[in-house]
Amino acid sequence: MSSDSVRGVDRRRLLRWGGVAAAGVVASGAQVADAHPGHAAPARTDPDTIPPDTRPGGAYDRYVAKLAAEDKFSGVVLLSHRGRTVLSRSYGMADKEKGIRNDQGVAFSLSSAGKPFGAVAVLQLAQQGRLKLWDTVGTHLSGFAKEIAEKVTIHHLLSGTSGLSNPDVDVQRVFQSREEVREYNERWARQAELVAAPGTPTDHVGAEVAIPAQIVEAVTGTTYWDYVEEHVFGRCGMTGTGFYTRPQWLTDERIAHPYMELADGSRVDAVRNLDKGSPSPHQPGRNPGRSFIDAPGDGGFATARDLVRFAHALGDGTVLDRRYAEVLTGAKAPLPPQGGGLRDSDRAVPADAGFAAYSLPVHITGGQWVWGRAGGDPGVGASWNIYPDTGWVGVILSNCDGVPLWEIIDQEIRAVTGSR
């Protein structure tokens, strides 16, 4: 294996990417004649081409370097083509107090970018016959309102069409244990109300993430965190990825600290400064250091290389059988132009069409599919994109406020797809 390959990934399997025979990603491959129903026509981009803008010194590399020089980016970016790293850059500090720099081996908080791990866990149980996607909430859980228990299905939850409300979150609370986080989220999810008919698209409703995670726990008899670490991260070889606790965040030198901007313009370490609970009005949200561990179904920490491993595990049958991988990424409901992270603005890459899949948006952009998920909290920004037609994976992980995450995502998509 060459030195610039992602370690631990079998390149013979990765060569199946780009529409040759990739399990779970052949649906719209450029060289596949019998594309599956519901997927786009073959991409116009030659899957063997390395666009100039993706290379070291290219437009994307220069753009991120300029942001870092202007103190507008701290973190890592990675572009991988068929398992080979094309561009890998690291900027800024993972821990300023200890003098530890960011690099490709540092794990970053994922925020919402970790939500698809829960959908993968549910689909693993579905392919084993331990649950059905048409099961209602009440099939596996108790304590929910009757109309939710009897009418809202797992499919509704994963596809973002549950019709549920988003219960209020206590953003000031400081949690002290895993058990406290689980108990709080169990009570919190049961405060959701059915405000529209099941099948109605919702907008980033947290209960749609929490309830499937609780179903995973009910079916498996283990915690969501333990199940995903063993059956998703473990299968993919994601050795630098996990659901780390706040004590680990404080002591492990391989976990990046988030630098949150306060209302006065200063930046503080959000993990070490739990009392600094009022982020800038430009960066609303919780202080990530207040959570002892990410809520079941959400978040986690990952390295850029591990997210590439996850992307390829979706394509080679490692983490899901081919057909269930297609269920994960198949379009379920149309999204408006601003949905799923591609903004409707002058600077955004125009998407031909956007859809909700299971816990992630999928888009047709520049004649090819883009699958991925982004997320953020104060001091946290994360994005991973899979380009199944051409075998590309793009990762952006940042650990400070002021990072224009959506603009960087736009630039990545432009570089990979050739969109203008």
Average pLDDT over residues 174-198: 95
Residue 326 near residue 36, CB atoms below 8 Å? yes
Residue 15 lies in a domain: no
For the chain, the C-alpha Rg in angstroms (whole number) is 20
Cα–Cα distance measured from residue 182 to residue 293, given in angstroms and rounded to the nearest whole number: 9
Q: Stretch 221-231: mean pLDDT, rounded?
A: 98
Question: For the chain, first and last CA: distance in Å?
Answer: 35
Residue 40 lies in a domain: no
Give the structural domain span for 80.
Answer: 52-417
Average pLDDT value for residue range 15-34: 31
Q: Is the pLDDT of residue 7 over 60?
A: no
User: For position 289, what pLDDT does the model report?
Assistant: 65
Give domain status of residue 166, yes or no. Answer: yes
Instruction: Assess if residue 21 is contained within a domain.
Output: no
The residue with greater pLDDT, 142 or 47, is: 142
Q: If DSSP codes are grouped into helix, strand and coil, which group holds residue 199?
A: coil
Q: Which pTM does this prediction carry? A: 0.86
- What number is the average pLDDT over the span 400-409? 95
| 224 belongs to a structural domain | yes
**Mean of all residue pLDDT scores within the chain:** 85
pLDDT at 275 over 60: yes
**Which residues contact residue 396 at a Cβ distance below 8 angstroms, ignoring those fewer than 6 apart?**
75, 76, 77, 381, 382, 383, 384, 405, 408, 409, 412
Residue 274 is predicted with a pLDDT of 78
Q: Where residue 43 falls among pLDDT bands split at 50, 70, 90?
A: very low
From 28-42, 186-200, 258-272, the region with the lowest mean pLDDT: 28-42
Mean pLDDT of 160-182: 91
Q: CA 298, CA 133: separation in Å to the nearest integer?
A: 20
Q: What is the CATH number of the domain that holds 244?
A: 3.40.710.10
Residue 282 in this model has a pLDDT that exceeds 60: no
Number of domains in the chain: 1
Is a pLDDT exceeding 60 seen at residue 4? no
Q: Report which of 182, 128, 126 is spatially closest to residue 153, judged by C-alpha positions.
A: 126
* Whether residue 346 has pLDDT greater than 50: no
| Alpha helices for 193-335 (secondary structure H) | 207-220, 224-228, 234-236, 246-251, 304-315, 322-329
- In this prediction, residue 418 carries a pLDDT of 86
Residue 4 located in a structural domain? no
User: In this prediction, what percent of the chain has a pLDDT beyond 90?
Assistant: 73
Please say if the pLDDT value at position 315 is more than 70.
yes
Distance from C-alpha of 322 to C-alpha of 307, rounded to nearest angstrom: 19
pLDDT at 255 over 50: yes
32 falls within a domain: no
402: Cβ contacts below 8 Å, ≥ 6 apart: 71, 72, 261
- What pLDDT is stored for residue 220 in this prediction? 98
Q: In the prediction, which pLDDT does 330 show?
A: 96
Beta strands in 5-125 (DSSP E): 75-81, 84-91, 93-95, 100-101, 108-109
* Residues 324-339 pLDDT 10s: 999 999 999 888 765 4
Give the tokens for residue 145. 């309102």
381, β-bridge pairs: 376, 398
Q: Quick check: is 354 in a domain?
A: yes
- Once rounded to an integer, what is the mean pLDDT over residues 84-96? 98
